[in-house]
Copies of this chain bind each other. A is one copy, B any other.
Amino acid sequence: MEDVAARAGVSRALVSIVFRDAPGASGATRERVRAAAAELGFSPDHRARLLGRSRTGLIGVSFGLRLTFHADLVEALYEVVRGSGYEVVLSGNGPGRTEEAALETLLGYRCEALVCLGPTLPVERLAALAAGHPLVVVAARGGAPGVSSVRADDAGGVRLAVEHLLSLGHRRIAHVDGGRAPGATDRRRAFRSASTRERPDGPWPVVPGGPTEVDGARAAPALLALLDRPGAPTAVQVFNDRCAAGLLHALRSAGCRVPEDLSVVGFDDDRLSSVPGVDLTTVRQEPAELASRAFEHAVGQLEGCPASPGDDVVEPSLVVRGTTSSPRGGATA
């Protein structure tokens, strides 16, 4: 920087002004400084820049490396944040790197706000973090005081799926749940309440599942066993798309035709679900919408807006594809 200043025949401060696009320099000088910088291959040091500034403008994002939906959210966050004066810092977690380690890194960077995608941290930890910084939880319930969260309306989404199946003529529906994954409880509960609403004489079955393809595949035998009995379900609503994809594979391998024998509805509208051949009917939660709300929450809290942190619920929408149809005397036979 010193060198650039010397070459352009100005002071260091002027160089700083030019590179910050701050007012206080004439057009000609700007030109001269930029030229000198280009010749010397100078680009400002990001760390030093942040150090000197009182604020860092950094938004730390912790995400699950293995979760495709998180990747979508991260991408959306990059786009939302661009040009806002803030900046995204990524820290991934997964087996091999704990969420705690990921957050540690983010904190070390002096991020001003933290965005946690689908955190599995205990509520107390979240509350402790939120005490120091604005904390936005995405795609999961905040749960802790002072933590704001942005998530899809899980119950509403399940209701949407069930209504779709009912309107197709299905009267017996099963649910493959998400185990202890974020959102699983809400979805299971919504399914159960739909069950008592539509079928007051007896509950619809819930099969244990989980958030991944493997969980879905593992749930297949239990589900297939249900189909052999009279009064068997003709449709299934699955916790999420990845689980549904695993289930779908396993069902088809077992000779069960979808949607002829069984209609399947997922949740998330994962990128994979629109692939021809998968073509899964599902409930879509919009990553761009979740990302922009999360960013608004973070900035809102940062910029002294007293907007109460709290749960922000986004309405999902139904995407009808090829895995649902009206029941046609399928596997109950």
Binding site for B on A (CB under 8 A): 41, 43-48, 50-51, 56, 65-66, 68, 71-72, 74-76, 78-79, 82, 90-92, 94-97, 105, 107-110, 132, 212-214, 216-218, 220, 246-253, 271-272, 275-278
The answer, among B43, B95, B107, for a CB contact under 8 Å with A108, is B43
Tell me the smallest distance from the CB of A210 to a CB of chain B, in Å: 12
7 A-B pairs, CB-CB below 8 angstroms?
Answer: A65-B75, A71-B92, A79-B97, A90-B91, A213-B275, A214-B276, A246-B277
Q: How many copies does the complex hold?
A: 2
In the bound complex, what is the Cα–Cα distance between A218 and B56 (angstroms)? 47
In the bound complex, what is the Cα–Cα distance between A46 and B246 (angstroms)? 42
The answer, among B41, B66, B107, B248, for a CB contact under 8 Å with A277, is B248
Pairwise interchain contact A45-B276, C-beta atoms closer than 8 A: no
Kindly report which residue of chain B lies nearest to residue A212, judged by CB atoms.
B275
Pairwise interchain contact A51-B47, C-beta atoms closer than 8 A: yes
Tell me the smallest distance from the CB of A185 to a CB of chain B, in Å: 25
Tell me the smallest distance from the CB of A120 to a CB of chain B, in Å: 16
Known pairs A44-B108, A90-B90, A216-B277 / 16 extra A-B pairs, C-beta < 8 Å: A43-B107, A46-B109, A46-B110, A48-B51, A65-B75, A66-B71, A75-B95, A76-B96, A213-B275, A246-B276, A247-B277, A249-B276, A249-B277, A249-B278, A250-B276, A252-B277
Pairwise interchain contact A92-B108, C-beta atoms closer than 8 A: no
Pairwise interchain contact B78-A97, C-beta atoms closer than 8 A: yes
In the bound complex, what is the Cα–Cα distance between A99 and B90 (angstroms)? 15
In the bound complex, what is the Cα–Cα distance between A25 and B78 (angstroms)? 44
In the bound complex, what is the Cα–Cα distance between A51 and B250 (angstroms)? 54
Pairwise interchain contact A278-B213, C-beta atoms closer than 8 A: yes
Q: Contacts A213-B272, A276-B246, A277-B248 given; indicate if A92 touches B75 (C-beta within 8 A).
A: yes
In the bound complex, what is the Cα–Cα distance between A254 and B68 (angstroms)? 27
In the bound complex, what is the Cα–Cα distance between A272 and B66 (angstroms)? 11
Kindly report which residue of chain B lies nearest to residue A95, judged by CB atoms.
B75
- Chain B residue numbers with a CB within 8 Å of A271 are 66
Tell me the smallest distance from the CB of A4 to a CB of chain B, in Å: 16
- Identify the 9 closest CB pairs spanning chains A and B, nearest first: A249-B277, A46-B108, A217-B276, A250-B277, A213-B275, A90-B90, A47-B47, A65-B71, A217-B277
Kindly report which residue of chain B lies nearest to residue A73, judged by CB atoms.
B65
Kindly report which residue of chain B lies nearest to residue A218, judged by CB atoms.
B276
Kindly report which residue of chain B lies nearest to residue A102, judged by CB atoms.
B78
Kindly report which residue of chain B lies nearest to residue A275, judged by CB atoms.
B213
- Chain B residue numbers with a CB within 8 Å of A277 are 213, 216-217, 220, 246-253
Tell me the smallest distance from the CB of A132 to a CB of chain B, in Å: 8
- Chain B residue numbers with a CB within 8 Å of A132 are 41
